[in-house]
Amino acid sequence: MERIIIRMLYDKRITKKYYRFHLLRKSFMFYLILLIGLFVVYLAVKNTFMTTEETRELSSIVMIWTLAFFALVIAPSFMLWRINSLVNKEAKKRGDKEEYISITKEKIERRIDGQDKLVFGWNNIVDIRELEEMFLLYVDTESAIVVSKKHMIEGDHDTLRSLIEKYGPRDKKGKLKYKVHIKGHKKAKKAKNDK
């Protein structure tokens, strides 16, 4: 029987990597703020260098450069600080409680000592991402079950990949919603049968 069992304590490093990946790859807000920041920098450059002496006011130039600094430096820094504070808060809340994740062809079960267990069917998984150290099984657009590769006590990466290929989420065309984000990984091409 194909089965994966993961047993682990809360891992801050893995969780930070998950949040950073989600922020940079799956979150629309980060790119919206970046786009606004670039637009504000454009306005700042335009108002500083491309206006005439009579129309240029020091207060408006200072204000727009301050806004540009906020949009490009302070807002992303705040997002990264927020990730660190969320991880530290969760680590304090979880303490030494162990987390168990069991993955079979029927279900994905996640349990943390002292808390209710969560059970998901493969039909509840909307997207799957594989990173260097983990698999992310997204249950909605904002949250995922983080499956650490190094904490697998039963089964291995290939077994999980096999389960994903058989039971993972598919789009309307039937294509598997599974992406690998590992440096040097190339997608295997299916061999064509010559007739």
Predicted pLDDT at 30: 78
Class of domain 4-10+96-181: mainly beta
Give the amino acid at 50. M
- What's the DSSP call for residue 124? G
d(CA 185, CA 161): 14
Domain ranges in the chain are 4-10+96-181, 13-94
Q: 124: Cβ–Cβ under 8 A, 6 or more apart, which residues?
A: 108, 139
DSSP structure string for 40-80: HHHHHHHHHHSS-TTT--HHHHHHHHHHHHIIIIIHHHHHH
Give the amino acid at 181. H
d(CA 163, CA 9): 24
Would you give per-residue pLDDT tens digits along the chain (195 residues)? 789 999 999 999 999 999 999 888 877 777 888 888 888 888 888 877 776 665 567 777 788 888 888 878 888 888 889 999 999 999 999 989 999 999 999 999 999 998 889 999 999 999 999 999 999 999 998 899 999 999 999 999 999 999 999 999 999 999 999 999 988 777 654 444 443
Name the helix (H) or strand (E) containing 159: helix 157-167
| Three-state secondary-structure class, residue 25 | helix
Q: Is 108 exposed, middle or buried (0-12, 13-18, 19+ CB in 10 A)?
A: buried
pTM of the model: 0.79
d(CA 103, CA 120): 10
Give the amino acid at 166. K
The residues pairing with 184 across neighbouring beta strands, listed in sequence order, are: none
Predicted pLDDT at 81: 92
* Residue 55 CB neighbours (<10 A): 8
